[in-house]
Chain A
């Protein structure tokens, strides 16, 4: 078991810098997920921890020991690859034991470890098969088994579930979660799927373009994102961003006018000094935080274009609205909104809908994307 510490870690490929100084403290036994859009440097970061990629700057320590110049095999880590990276010509059993056999580990101990890994992952019946005779999910189990056999201090996963179908993905997600509880070791997990991140992580590291946007527990990121990027990335479907302008202040609160909703106004209490009147801002509202008309602090009218009915909930995609009176804004058709309705099973096309926004269930950002709290 070991903590993992990254201090100002930089990675350059030639002149092209892809990780710009990452600081991450991962506690012993913690499950940390690196999440971010494609190309943001998640894999690169993970591979630097593994030692498969050298570090252009900064320090990485595992279990309190600086590992910058330590060989990958001596770092006490095991990695599960997206493509499984099983040895195609070996049986499952040979795949699991290969590393130990090659390094002259005692046979009895090797057998014990292989047996235990096979039991944990329930692949005992598959031991004599070769990778090509396995399903995707079974291959993934073998890949994880090979990591378990090494009895590492830290597990690294690089998008291990992205080649599986949706159902299997959910199942394996639960398995990995169970594995983490059973083994109690540090796990670092890379994904671009925010659902995986939310469900698995003790803490999430949100990356964007080689920078760390925020580190925090899943619900903290959901409730209290540091900026617009994190707000948009965490939560599904994505948070809606409504163009707005500060039109005044009212004791500690900003009065915000929604530009595309016919001047609908929201009184948004803030901890900081409200921005000056005339400042352009962005109001973030999650699809699940629209309320029935009159239930919130500001009503807006929208016209539904498409509705997806999932049974338990429906998602209404709206971007055109009609004027409907006093404090009700008319959507001018600029902004697409996604609105979650509890199983309303609305008919979609052209339905008019009035929904309400609550000040406490919305977030304010400045035009650079930073939170205004």
Chain B
């Protein structure tokens, strides 16, 4: 046994080594860096320097506010949409199920730059299809990228488009694990389809919905691509700057790694805290 274990670990060693260098060490190192003043070389240990700044930094609170705003609006909307999509996908009336499943999943594998470029084009003030559609039903054009509220909306729409199908596929797997005869029993019990959805499907799907919600919360806390590429680095005027973007700005533009690390740990902490609250709120009643 001993010998076999040693052999196994030798096979695993290359992976473990890379994992330690590129995952474990950065996690530990960034934690330590967050306690160092990194504005000037040499870096020095100053616990209050970054964490103290964080507490009073309006840019941080702006980014935090934007991130949480996106989180509380986009995640519930997307999960609800994903549930509806999953239920439709699961319907026996649906033809070409495989095609839809692929179509729903496709946005995830589209390159981020291409996807962002397409969204910028779609929401372009003068020749974007969205404004053309608005005009065609008699509504005025919206200058999507010059005002904060429409810009935030674009980000939420883009993120939802990208991830709703992915969540729908996960939820579909959950739906398919609910036995058909439970619904048949409910039908015989004279329970309407709508009530079956609310009183049977949703409760039985709860663990999967929770899983999707936690996944989405973690994803949204780290939101970076969309504000970086679609609203051009958190524009207009920082109106869509997220924590992810602030981190990038501090770390890789200003090379202030200490502060960036503190932001990173704040993001991770918040994601964990919100997820725990979510899990606690939806726990099984004893």
Contacts and interface: CB of A to CB of B under 8 A. Distances in A.
A98 B184 CA distance: 14
B207 to A, nearest CB: 10
B185 A79 contact: yes
Contact of A85 (B179, B190, B195): B179
Interface in B159-187: 179, 181-182, 184-187
A98 B189 contact: yes
Interface stretch (A70-78, A178-186, A229-237): A70-78
A88 interface: yes
Nearest to A50: B188
Given A87-B200, A98-B199, A102-B199, A52 B187 contact: yes
A103 B204 contact: no
Contacts, number: 58
B49 to A, nearest CB: 51
Nearest to B192: A102
B191 interface: yes
B203 interface: yes
B118 to A, nearest CB: 42
A99 B190 contact: yes
Nearest to A94: B199
A341 to B, nearest CB: 45
Nearest to A152: B188
B98 to A, nearest CB: 20
B181 A72 contact: no
Given A98-B199, A102-B195, A102-B199, A85 B189 contact: no
Interface residues of B, number: 17
Given A85-B179, A85-B181, A98 B188 contact: no
A79 B188 contact: yes
A86 B185 CA distance: 8
Contacts of B204: 88-89
Contacts of A87: 182, 185-186, 200
A98 B191 contact: yes
A98 B190 CA distance: 10
Interface string A58-91: 0000000000000011100111010101111100
B199 A81 contact: no
Given A98-B199, A102-B199, A85 B182 contact: yes
A265 interface: no
A268 interface: no
A81 B189 contact: no
B191 A102 contact: yes
Interface in B51-94: none
Contacts of B203: 89
B190 A52 contact: no
A228 interface: no
A140 to B, nearest CB: 14
Contacts of B190: 73-74, 99, 102-103
Nearest to A102: B191
A81 B185 contact: yes
Contacts of A79: 184-185, 188
A102 B189 CA distance: 9
A245 interface: no
B208 to A, nearest CB: 13
A289 interface: no
Nearest to B198: A102
B97 to A, nearest CB: 18
B187 to A, nearest CB: 6
B272 to A, nearest CB: 27
Nearest to B185: A85
A150 B182 contact: no
A113 interface: no
Nearest to B178: A88
A203 interface: no
B184 A99 contact: no
B201 to A, nearest CB: 11
A141 interface: no
Chain A CB within 10 A, most for which of B179, B185, B186, B191: B185
A11 interface: no
A145 B53 CA distance: 65
Nearest to B284: A89
Nearest to A99: B189
A303 to B, nearest CB: 50
A73 B185 CA distance: 10
A190 B273 CA distance: 54
A146 interface: yes
Given A87-B200, A89-B204, A146 B185 contact: yes
Contacts of A85: 179, 181-182, 184-185
A99 B179 contact: no
Contacts of A77: 188
A150 B184 contact: no
A373 B203 CA distance: 61
A83 B188 contact: no
Interface in A76-120: 77-79, 81, 83, 85-89, 98-99, 102-103
A83 B187 CA distance: 16
Nearest to A147: B188
A138 B187 CA distance: 23
Contacts of B184: 52, 79, 81, 85
Closest 4 CB pairs between A and B?
A: A99-B189, A73-B190, A85-B181, A85-B185
15 contacts: A52-B188, A72-B188, A73-B187, A73-B189, A73-B190, A74-B190, A81-B184, A83-B179, A87-B186, A89-B203, A98-B189, A99-B186, A103-B191, A146-B185, A150-B189
Given A72-B188, A79-B188, A98-B199, 6 more contacts: A74-B190, A83-B179, A85-B184, A87-B186, A87-B200, A102-B190
Interface of A: 50, 52, 72-74, 77-79, 81, 83, 85-89, 98-99, 102-103, 146, 150
